[in-house]
């Protein structure tokens, strides 16, 4: 059974919590362990927060699209913004790199360590798409 959810919301910081609740609800349906659910909540928080803080420079009326697709084998999370884009993705993915000196710069590090695949597509002045994949067969027993 394959399912897909898509939600577009404005770049308000409070919407990070809604994204976290949505992924937690999906993960609970997939019968994932609490530790795996917590990791998914972290990665979705980081991706959405990056869109708000870095993509939109905290402008609160811009669109962020969250798409969650899943079946028995894998979970795919896509977060897309139409913000300023990332000029150097490789640099942005380095541990402790941040364009904001108040931030730790660990968002992509968490995404890479908690997910099985991470892809970042970005065009300056057009936006960024972050695609994260979790292979479910690796973290829970298959249902037969």
Catalytic residue among 38, 67, 69, 103: 103
Active site residue 60: no
Active site residue 46: yes
Beta-bridge partner residues of 130: 79, 120
Catalytic residue among 50, 69, 72, 125: 50
Catalytic residue among 46, 60, 135, 138: 46
Active site residue 80: no
Cβ distance 132 to 116 under 8 Å?
Answer: no
Give CA–CA dist 25/49, Å, rounded.
19
Beta-bridge partner residues of 87: none
Q: Which residues touch 49 (CB under 8 Å, ≥6 apart)?
A: 13, 16, 107
User: Which residues are designated catalytic?
Assistant: 46, 50, 103
């Amino acid at each position: 059974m394959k399912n897909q959810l898509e939600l577009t919301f404005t770049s308000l910081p409070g919407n990070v919590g809604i994204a976290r609740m949505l992924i937690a609800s999906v993960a609970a349906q997939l019968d994932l362990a609490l530790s795996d659910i917590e990791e998914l909540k972290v990665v979705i928080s980081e991706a959405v927060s990056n869109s708000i803080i870095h993509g939109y420079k905290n402008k609160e009326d811009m669109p962020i699209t969250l798409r969650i697709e899943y079946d028995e084998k894998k979970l795919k999370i896509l977060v897309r913004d139409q913000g300023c884009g990332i000029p150097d993705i490789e640099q942005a993915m380095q541990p402790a790199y941040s364009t904001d000196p108040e931030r730790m710069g660990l968002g992509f590090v968490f995404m890479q360590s908690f997910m099985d695949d991470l892809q970042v597509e970005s065009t300056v002045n057009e936006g960024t798409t972050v695609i994260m994949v979790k292979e479910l067969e690796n973290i829970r027993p298959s249902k037969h």
